[in-house]
Amino acid sequence: MYHTLDLHFQNLNHAIAAFLIETEGGPVIVESGPYSTFPSMEKGLADHGYKVSDVKHVLLSHIHFDHAGAAWAFAEQGATVYLHPFGADHMHDPTKLVASATMIYGDQMDTLWGKMEGIPKKKLRTVAHEEVLEIGGESFRALHTPGHAKHHIAWHWKDTIFTGDVAGVKIEGGPVVPPCPPPDINLEDWLHSIDLVLSKNPNKLALTHFGEEINPNIHMKELKEILKDWSLWIKDKWEAGMSNEEITPEFMSYTAQQLRDRGVSENGVKQYEAANPSWMSVAGLVRYWKKKQI
């Protein structure tokens, strides 16, 4: 059994999760969340009888701020952070990562994500595809699953796969949607990664955004369909000569209506937008189509 910790990002329920697995060797955390939500992380751990310093192992799906922004704070308290080889340099020295994000988020950086500091190399442990970590009597298999990000890992534990973003965003029983940020969205890789996850025959998917999915095959089929729908919708607008700034409000309206048509409340629409901002998917998918054209 694992515990889902709601990190209450932007004071919203069910936007960003972390996961706590209790082992014979102490607690293992999957996803650190951003540092802005660290008080919620501390409370979640305390609710299960742990302190941050009790956590010696943090497994990251990838290095985007909403998944990895607080990893340094665990490392500072003695944890080893496990991640994809492509992400290690950026976590050791996040200068470029922070600079790139600051160009996008500006003066919202601290409010959204909080600070991000470097992690000593001795506290970073890269893992190969299909490598198995043995921690406290439990086995965690790393599945390299690019598509959303080239440095993405889904973690397979028992009958559950902690999917990061490869299985999309699904909040409170609503439809699944794909987060498509720049710079390295790759639809072909993503579809292959979906098939890889399903090939492991999991009974459950644990989504960072948000919670447990008990019908993996149906979920992933719907994700493939909406990934195609969104990518082609944005391709049409881009090929018509629209800029990202022009596409974004139309895309926001288009996807919000998709959610409403599936019974999502107005508050739910806000939760989806917080977990998966429309401008981000526009930027990522336009970049994908531009690269395809080259």
Burial 253-289 (b: 16+ CB within 10 A, else e): ebbbebbeeeebeeebbebbbbbbbbbbbbbbbbbbb
Q: For the chain, which residues make up each domain, given as ranges? A: 2-222, 226-293
Question: With 0-12 CB in 10 A as exposed, 13-18 as middle and 19+ as buried, what is 90?
Answer: buried
Helix then strand then coil, in percent of the chain rounded to 5, is 50, 20, 35
**Cis peptide before 210, with omega less than 30 degrees from 0?**
yes
pLDDT in tens for each of the 294 residues of the chain?
899 999 999 898 888 999 999 999 999 999 999 999 999 999 999 999 999 999 999 999 999 999 999 999 999 999 999 999 999 999 999 999 898 888 778 888 888 999 999 999 999 999 999 999 999 999 999 999 999 999 999 999 999 999 999 999 998 889 999 999 988 899 999 999 999 999 999 999 999 999 999 999 999 999 999 999 999 999 999 999 999 999 999 999 999 999 999 999 998 898 888 888 999 999 999 999 999 886
Residue found under tokens 């922070």: 98
**Residue ranges in 57-157 assigned as alpha helix (H):** 65-68, 71-76, 88-92, 95-105, 109-113
In the chain, count H helices and then E strands: 11, 12
Superfamily of chain region 2-222: Ribonuclease Z/Hydroxyacylglutathione hydrolase-like (3.60.15.10)
